[in-house]
Structure 1
Amino acid sequence: MIDTNGMRHIATFCGQCDCGCPELWIDPDAPEEKRVVITDDFGQRIQMSLGQLSDLIGDVKGGVLDTLLTPSA
């Protein structure tokens, strides 16, 4: 179980089940470079800065990951 005390919940990805879907949190007490926290259903977490999250969102909006969702021919 991941300790989320003091963190602000932003989003749950999926949420259609009870499997412990990945979630996005903000930890206001963490150092700036670890303020964004993504948790998964395996008890793991990724920490990054708001700047890194912004870059990731920009890449996703720009289509960088689109090929992952396209079936191979």
Structure 2
Amino acid sequence: MDPATTGTAGLQHVATFCGQCNCGCPELYLDPAADDERRVVITDDFGQRIQMSLGQLADLVADARNGVLDEVLASAS
């Protein structure tokens, strides 16, 4: 995908979630020009994006490591 058309120009790419296709998989970026509370950018395959702080991302990663997201996925299926 072209960063100019996806709104990701100037962002530092960190990860692509899925990546098995070319349909605009969710991606994780860092925005070096953003305020601290909006530095992390996650885009989805529908053209939407969320922004959060590095601290919020760290909390999300810690929860994932501790199995919180596993519990959510298990209860949703």
Per the normalisation by structure 2, the TM-score is 0.86
Task: Determine if the alignment matches structure 1 residue 30 to structure 2 residue 23.
Answer: no
Cα RMSD over matched residues?
A: 1.8
Of 2-11 and 48-57, deviating more is 2-11
SS at match of 2:51: strand
Which structure: greater helix fraction? 2
Q: Name stretches of at least 5 consecutive residues in structure 2 with no aligned partner.
A: none
The alignment of Structure 1 onto Structure 2 pairs a total of residues equal to 73
Task: Determine if the alignment matches structure 1 residue 11 to structure 2 residue 21.
Answer: no
Task: Determine if the alignment matches structure 1 residue 60 to structure 2 residue 56.
Answer: no
User: What is the distance in 1 between the residues matched to 2:40 and 2:75?
Assistant: 31
Cα deviation for residue 68 of structure 1 reads 3.2
Q: Show CA shifts across 1:15-55 (max 9, x none).
A: 00111100000000011100000000100001000000000
User: AA paired with 1:23?
Assistant: E
More relative contact order in 1 or in 2 (CA 8 Å, sep 6+)? 1
Contact 1:2 1:44 in 2 (8 A): no
Per the normalisation by structure 1, the TM-score is 0.90
User: Aligned in 2, Cα 1:58/1:3: closer, same or farther, shift over 3 Å?
Assistant: same
